[in-house]
Amino acid sequence: MESPREIAHVLDEIFREHARHSTQETGALITRDSIELGLDSYCVRRVRDLYPTEIVRTISRLPSAKFTSNHVQNVLKVSRQAASIRINKWTDDGYIERIEDTRSDKDSAKLIYQYRIKEKRLERLIQRGLNQESGS
């Protein structure tokens, strides 16, 4: 995100999570858990602030940050055409990008398009399985 302001947001969340979860026994040093919890909290909050709720809810249902049209069809229970329309819209809006083609699971001779989440905060939501509705 290459923004000093975003770095300040991230550090603020890390310090807040550390203060929330540290005790006299754990000490004053920031732990890896505090960093991970802070990054999770930051991503959930910033994604909520920056992107339409429905887009985030839909994209965060994908099984991983790397996916195919078949994944979109299966997760969203939509037709191939509807999945293609969504993928094109997400690409146009900058949420995802097309990456290297992959072989189809059903027919290894067939190449299919593969995509990945381009927005790092959205990618973390998917990778960490963060529930957008509950904020955790």
Residue with tokens 């505090």: 34
Burial class (CB in 10 A: 0-12, 13-18, 19+), 108: exposed
Nearest to 60 by CA among 49, 50, 78, 75: 75
Question: In which band, very low, low, confident or very high, does the pLDDT at 110 lie, cut at 50, 70 and 90?
Answer: confident
pLDDT for residue 101: 80
pLDDT for residue 136: 43
Residue 71, Ramachandran bin (φ over 0: left; ψ between -120 and 50: alpha; else beta): alpha
pLDDT for residue 92: 94
- Residue-wise pLDDT tens digits, 33-56: 989 999 999 999 999 999 999 989
Q: Where are the domains of the chain?
A: 1-50, 53-130
Question: In which band, very low, low, confident or very high, does the pLDDT at 26 lie, cut at 50, 70 and 90?
Answer: low
Question: In which band, very low, low, confident or very high, does the pLDDT at 108 lie, cut at 50, 70 and 90?
Answer: confident
Average pLDDT over residues 108-114: 83
Domain range 53-130, its CATH number among 3.40.50.40, 1.10.10.10, 1.10.340.30, 1.10.3720.10: 1.10.10.10
Whole-structure pTM value: 0.77
Mean of the per-residue pLDDT values of the chain: 87
- Do strands 96-103 and 111-117 pair parallel, antiparallel, or not at all (unpaired)? antiparallel
More confident residue, 136 or 37: 37
Average pLDDT over residues 89-102: 90
Radius of gyration, alpha carbons of the chain: 18
